Amino acid sequence: MNRALKTGRILAVNFLMILLAGSIVLILRSYVDWLPSSDSLLLSETVVKGNDLVPREEIIKQAGLQGEKQLNRIDLRKVTMLIQTHPYIEAARVRKSYPHKLLIDVIEKKPIVLINVEGDLYSMDRDGLILPSQPNRTYNLPVLTGDFKGGVTVGTQASGPLLEKGLSLVRTLLECRPGLYEQISEIVLGPFDELKLYTQRGAVPVFFGSGEVEYKARCLEAALSRLDREGKLKETRYIDLRFYRQVIIGKRT
C-alpha cells in the first residue's frame, strides 16, 4: 500500500514537471514571437565615439542602421564589417546595450605627414591616402615638398616614385626613430632621388642624400642630440650625410 502510494506520488510529480516544462516552452515561444513586433527592444539610440573625420550620421548610414531596427536582430559582425569598409576608418567595435542602445567605437586612419602640392597642404596617412583636413586645425606634422604635378584628390591614394620615396622615409622615422620624426619639420624631395630635411628647431638643413635610410637616421638623431646637449644647435649651418658613413657638420662663421 505504501509502495503504491509512493509510486503514485512520483508519477504525479513527474506529470507536474512535464506540464510545467511544456508551459515554459509555450511561454518562451510566445515571447520570441512577440519580440519582433514589440517596441521593448527597438533601437532608439546609437552612440558613436572616436570619430573626427567621419560624421556620426555618415557612420550610421555606412552601417546600414537607418530606419527602425530591433536591437536583438542586429548582426554585430555585419555592422562592424560595413563600418570598416569606409575609406577613413581603420577599425570598429560595435556592442549592444539593452534594451535600446547600440555603442560604436571607431579608430580612424591617422595622418603622419602633410604633402605640399602647389602651395596647398593635404594630410596623408602611412599608405598614401589623402585624408580630409579639418578647417582651422594646425597639424604638427612633417611636410613633404617636391615637384608634385597634377594635384591630389581627397579620399584617393597618392602615388608616384618621388612621393613614395618621401613617404617611405617618414614611415621609417616614425617606426624606428620616433624621437627624430618629431624633430623634422620638412622633407624636400629633390632631383636624383636625393632628400633634404629641415629640423624643427633652428631650421637646420640636413642633406640626407639617398640610400642607407635607417643608418643615416640613427646618425642624424645622435648628431642632433649631441649638438643640443652641447648647446651648439644654433651654431650649426648644415648637416651633411651624403658621403658614405660620414656625418659632416657645417658651422656658422
Q: Are 41 and 100 in contact (CB under 8 A)?
A: yes
Quote the pLDDT of residue 36. Answer: 53
Q: What is the CATH number of domain 113-251?
A: 3.40.50.11690
Nearest alpha-carbon partner for 223 in 250, 194, 244: 250
Indicate if 113-251 has the same CATH topology as 45-108: no
Split at pLDDT 50, 70, 90, the class of 10 is low
pLDDT (average), residues 20-26: 65
DSSP 72: G
pTM: 0.76
Q: Alpha-carbon distance 12 to 59, whole Å?
A: 59
47, amino acid identity:
V
* pLDDT tens-place string over residues 128-138: 999 998 777 78
Split at pLDDT 50, 70, 90, the class of 118 is confident
Q: Does the pLDDT at position 28 exceed 60?
A: no
145 vs 113, 167, 171, 191, CA distance in Å? 11, 11, 16, 12
16, amino acid identity:
L
pLDDT (average), residues 141-164: 85
Q: What is the CATH number of domain 45-108?
A: 3.10.20.310
> Which sign does the torsion angle of CA 62, 64, 69, 70 carry?
negative
Domain boundaries, the chain: 45-108, 113-251
Q: What is the mean pLDDT of the chain?
A: 86
Q: What share of the chain is helix, strand, coil (3-state, %, to 5)?
A: 40, 25, 35
Q: Does the pLDDT at position 3 exceed 70?
A: no
What is the β-pairing status of strands 195-199 and 45-49?
unpaired
